[in-house]
Structure formats: structure tokens, C-alpha cells
Amino acid sequence: MGISFANPEKLTEIFDGENREEWQKTSYIINKLELTPNTVIADVGAGTGYFSNIFSQHLGNGKIYSIDCEPNMVSYLKNRFSDDSFSHVNIIHSLFADPCIPSDVDMVFVANTYRFITDRCTFLNNLFQQVKTQTRLVLVDFKGSHARVSPNKALEEVQQAGFEILNFDLTGCPDHYILTCQKGDS
């Protein structure tokens, strides 16, 4: 069943809600990413920009690509990050099965989005072609009863696309798993 992300003004109440840290354990996820000030990160399925906004505070000389396929989200992101203080945040309107990752990206971060991607095989194959061997791909999504795509299924799918698993964290967040992988040399 499809879900609409066409109303960012309404969805921001959930995505950017005050209790987000509580249910998401955002600080744990950010620590886990081990960002450096120079990291170039692609926030795929950025939504209203909750994570992009946090990344923008952590990255000095780094860069954020805030990527989404929903036109209304893209407009919302452009507006949210229009101020000069967000000059290192770049907005990209991607395609459903193509994340459109720029060539300088060090980390592809996909939070609460993987389960909504219908053609995940094509999406992952495109992503694999677009990243460098050392680029990390980090998937964060629901585990347990909320999981449309189970953590093990996600693991299997990224491996099938050719990615090497670096870390599979099933316990650090109350409701989410964090799967970290990379293209690797082989």
C-alpha cells in the first residue's frame, strides 16, 4: 500500500516533533555515524530535513545533499535550507528508483525510507554504481512489528546488490536497526 508524503507542513509535526529523540534515539545514531567535519553526506529520503538539519550542525567544511523524490518535500527542503547559514546543504530531486547520488559523497544515509522504496533492487543497483568503494551506506529503519521490510531482508538485499556489511546494529535503538555497509574493492 502506497503512502503519500505530499504534505510536508503536516508531516513536519511528526518528523520534527519534540519527542523525536525519544522514539528515534537520534543522538545514538549520529554518534554511530562517526562524522568528521569534512564528511560529504547524502541524506536520501530526507523528508522535511530532520537529519539534514542535524548534519548541517556537525559538518564544518563538509557538505550535505538533501535528496527526496517527492516534489513537495523538495520544495519544503529548498525553503527550509534557503538561508545563507545552510549554504553547505544542497537539495536534489531524485527519482523513485534512482537516488541520484553525486560523485563526491562519502556517506549515503537512508532513514525511515528504505521500506517505502518499491523497486529496491533497481534503486540499490543504481546506488551501487554511483558510489565510491569506501562510501558508507547506512540504512536506519523499523525493526519488529513496524517493519515493512524486515532487517534481515534489508541485509539480504544490500548484499545481493554487491555491498559488504560493516555493522548490523539491532539493539542500539528501541525501534530501529542501523545497517552499515560499503561497496568495497571486490
Ligand X SMILES: C[S@@+](CC[C@H](N)C(=O)[O-])C[C@H]1O[C@@H](n2cnc3c(N)ncnc32)[C@H](O)[C@@H]1O
Complex with ligand X: residue 94 or 182, whichever CB lies closer: 94
CA atoms within 13 A on the CB side of 29: 27
| Residue 92 found at the interface with ligand X (CB under 6 A) | no
Q: In terms of Cα–Cα distance, which of 91, 93, 34, 76 is closest to 59?
A: 34
End-to-end CA distance of the chain: 37
User: Contact at 8 Å (CB) between 136 and 153?
Assistant: no
Q: In terms of Cα–Cα distance, which of 174, 139, 182 is closest to 19?
A: 174
Report in angstroms how near the CB of residue 75 gets to ligand X at its nearest: 12
Residue number, nearest CB to ligand X: 47
Complex with ligand X: residue 40 or 73, whichever CB lies closer: 73
Report in angstroms how near the CB of residue 133 gets to ligand X at its nearest: 23
Pairing of strands 107-111, 136-142: parallel
CA atoms within 13 A on the CB side of 105: 29
Q: In terms of Cα–Cα distance, which of 44, 48, 178, 186 is closest to 117?
A: 44
Q: In terms of Cα–Cα distance, which of 177, 180, 116 is closest to 143?
A: 177
Q: Which stretch binds ligand X (CB under 6 A): 63-71, 77-85, 168-176, 178-186?
A: 63-71
Size of the site for ligand X (CB under 6 A): 20
| Residue 111 found at the interface with ligand X (CB under 6 A) | yes
| Residue 116 found at the interface with ligand X (CB under 6 A) | yes
String marking each residue 19-48 x if it binds ligand X according to CB under 6 A = -------------------------xxxx-
Among 5, 65, 76, 163, binds ligand X (CB under 6 A): 5
| Residue 112 found at the interface with ligand X (CB under 6 A) | yes
Q: Residues interacting with ligand X, by CB under 6 A?
A: 5, 15, 44-47, 50-51, 68-70, 73, 94, 96, 111-113, 116-117, 123
